[in-house]
Amino acid sequence: MQRTQPWFIGAALRALALNVSNTRRVFTRSDLVLWDKALAERPGLAKMALDRMAYHELVELQPDRQVAQGLTRIDQRWRLTDKGLATCRSVAQALPGAPPPDPSALSTRLWQLLRSRRTLTAEEAASTLIDAGERDFAKAQHQLGDYLSIWSKLVPENIQVSAQRVGNAKRYVMVTDGGLYPPPTKVGRVRLVPPPAARPVPPLAKRAKATDE
C-alpha cells in the first residue's frame, strides 16, 4: 500500500469520483473507458485497474445472470464498496478548487491530536479537546469514541485498537501516519488522502479459491 501506484489506478479512481456518487451505482469497464480519455487510449488498463481495486476491496464484482445461465457475457458489472466510495470522494476533493476540511471541526481536531500523541482514548481526547464545564461533555466524549472506533475499522492500516486498555477504555494507536486530513466519520464522507497504492493482482486461480472460502 505504500508504493507509488500506477497512473491508471489514479485515472480510474478519478473517473469514478466524478461519475459515481453511491455504492448502488453499477458500472463497467466500458464506462471507465468512456469517462477517462487516457484510459480510452489504452482500454486494457481499465480492466487491470478494476482488478487491482478489487484486490484492495475498493470495488466488488456483481453477480451476472447471463453468466449463471450460460449466456454470452457482454461486460462485467462492478460497484464501489464503502471503502471505495470514501477513497473516490477523497480523490474528488483533492481535485483543484476543492475546499479542505474545517480545521475547527471536532473530527479534524481529534485526528491532529491522535497524530501528535500516537496513542489515545476517548476520555483522554475529551479532556484535551472539550471544556470539562460544558453541558454536553459526556455526549462529546461519546462522539469522540465513535470517531476513533469508525477510523479503526475504516483505515486499520493507520489506526488500530491496542490490546492494552486504560481501565475499561479502549486505547487507539496510530500505527502509521494517515496524513493531515481525517478519514470519514461515517459512510459516504470524504477523506482527503492519495489513492491507495496498488499491489500485484494475485493469479485468477488464487482469487477464485479465496472467494470460494
Q: What is the pLDDT of residue 29?
A: 93
Q: Where in the chain is the domain with CATH 1.10.10.1470?
A: 106-174
Classified as helix, coil or strand, 183 is: coil
Q: Where in the chain is the domain with CATH 1.10.10.10?
A: 7-64+75-94
Nearest to 84, CA basis, from 111, 109, 49, 41: 49
CATH architecture of the region 7-64+75-94 = Orthogonal Bundle (1.10)
Q: What is the pLDDT of residue 143?
A: 92
**pLDDT tens digits in sequence order for the chain, 213 residues long:** 344 467 888 889 888 988 888 888 999 999 999 998 888 888 889 999 999 999 988 999 988 755 445 544 568 899 999 888 888 877 766 665 556 667 888 988 999 999 999 999 999 999 999 876 666 888 888 999 999 998 888 778 789 999 888 888 899 999 988 777 777 776 444 343 343 443 344 444 444 444 444
Supply the CATH classification number for the domain 106-174: 1.10.10.1470
Contact 34, 50 (CB under 8 A): no
Q: What is the pLDDT of residue 166?
A: 83
Ramachandran angles phi, psi of 174, nearest 5°: -85, 100
Query: Taking the model in full, what pTM does it have?
Result: 0.50
- DSSP characters for the chain? --SPPPHHHHHHHHHHHHH--STT--EEHHHHHHH-HHHHHSTHHHHHHHHHHHHTTSEEEPP-HHHHTT------EEEE-HHHHHHHHHHHHHSTTPPPPPTTSHHHHHHHHHHHHSEE-HHHHHHHHS-TT-TTHHHHHHHHHHHHHHHHHH-TTTEEE-SS-BTTB--EEE-S---SSPPPSSTT-----PPPPP-PPPPHHHHHHHHH-
